[in-house]
Structure 1
Amino acid sequence: MNNFIVFTGGPGSGKTTVIEALRRQGYCCAPETGRKVIQEQVKQNGTAFPWLDKIAFRDEMVRMELANFNDYRDKPETVFFDRSILDCLGYSLLEALPTPKKLEELCEELTYRKRVFVFPPWQEIFENDAERKQDFEEAVRTYEVMVGVYERSGYRLIEVPRLTVEERIGFILGHIQIR
């Protein structure tokens, strides 16, 4: 989908902050599924947590990414995605999980704009919270895995510079020619 813009990278690099700022400006934005899975599992007293059952966590993210894609499929305007189905594949590789054939098929079927914005690790803004328990070194490894997954899948990565949120938004909108 040429109007589906993806943000990827490691945790704690500012993706969600930029997505939320874009949402406040009136842009259509899909939520990040990993955080949503954790929040739902807490409410349901579930077990699909990355620190408890990595495969169940990944599978829930896949389910939600597919739902995200389908929910926005008919939107004519630009939609910003806080990660994509490819991040589920990246998570599988990062955690050395078996990769289901269905996930590989979904990574080929669900297409996004070929220019993806990658947020590099940024230690000065990195923080842990109730849903993010990784340390900074794991954030760097996650970034490296995501870069590899997207590049191997034929996407062109545009690194988002370490700037203020407003400047990052200007950089992104300038690259996709939205004012």
Structure 2
Amino acid sequence: MKNRKIVITGGPGTGKSSIVHNLEKKGEKCLHEISRQVTLEAQKEGIDQLFLEQPLLFSEKLLEGRLNQFKEASAYNSDHIFIDRGLPDVVAYMDYFDTNYPEIFDNTCQNNRYDQIFILPPWKEIYKSDNERYESFEEALKISSYLYSTYKRYGYEPIEVPKLSVEDRTNFILDKI
């Protein structure tokens, strides 16, 4: 099967970016998380925290960006491509924050299917907050449960990645694909 789209997801601070960077070092094709990019673009326009100030607009921009990534992944001439967060992540966060969203969010998730989902569990020992990650670890735990249930709701069976070194987690993922 060509162009298998494989999502790496999980709550904030679970090690997704480290694993994606490690996959790239190993020569794997990867598409990176875009939420920080959306946040930085909004900051250039004078909106300090778009996600907090205008959550629906932020989520619309994320949905559009992730849909573009989904389409971009289809154009690669490769057996598979790893994607840091998928379309259902947007819905999970909207649900977590109890924010209403139009039907297009749900339809987009249902009509653009990934081939495999890996979810990284919350891990207090590696969790760090920064300028773009403002959630507490307790909030990260809740977000993680929303991510898991949202992917299940869309018919996925996420594979939980064990709490190991970045190298061992990367190898676990590569062994499962």
Same fold (TM over 0.5): yes
> 1:9-158 to 2 correspondence within 5 Å?
9-46=10-47, 49-77=50-78, 78-113=80-115, 115-158=116-159
Check whether the contact 2:87–2:109 (CA below 8 A) recurs between aligned residues: yes
Q: How many residues align?
A: 175
TM-superposed deviation, 1:171? 0.3
Check whether the contact 1:14–1:125 (CA below 8 A) recurs between aligned residues: yes
Percent of residue pairs identical: 33
TM-superposed deviation, 1:127? 0.4
Unaligned runs of 5+ in 1: none
Unaligned runs of 5+ in 2: none
TM-score by length of 1: 0.92
TM-superposed deviation, 1:46? 3.4
Deviations 1:45-77 (A, max 9, x none): 336622222111111111111111122222132
Higher helix fraction (1 or 2): 2
Aligned residue for 1:124, secondary structure, equals helix
TM-score by length of 2: 0.93
Aligned residue for 1:163, secondary structure, equals coil
Check whether the contact 2:43–2:49 (CA below 8 A) recurs between aligned residues: no
Check whether the contact 2:3–2:73 (CA below 8 A) recurs between aligned residues: no
Q: Aligned-residue CA RMSD in angstroms?
A: 1.5
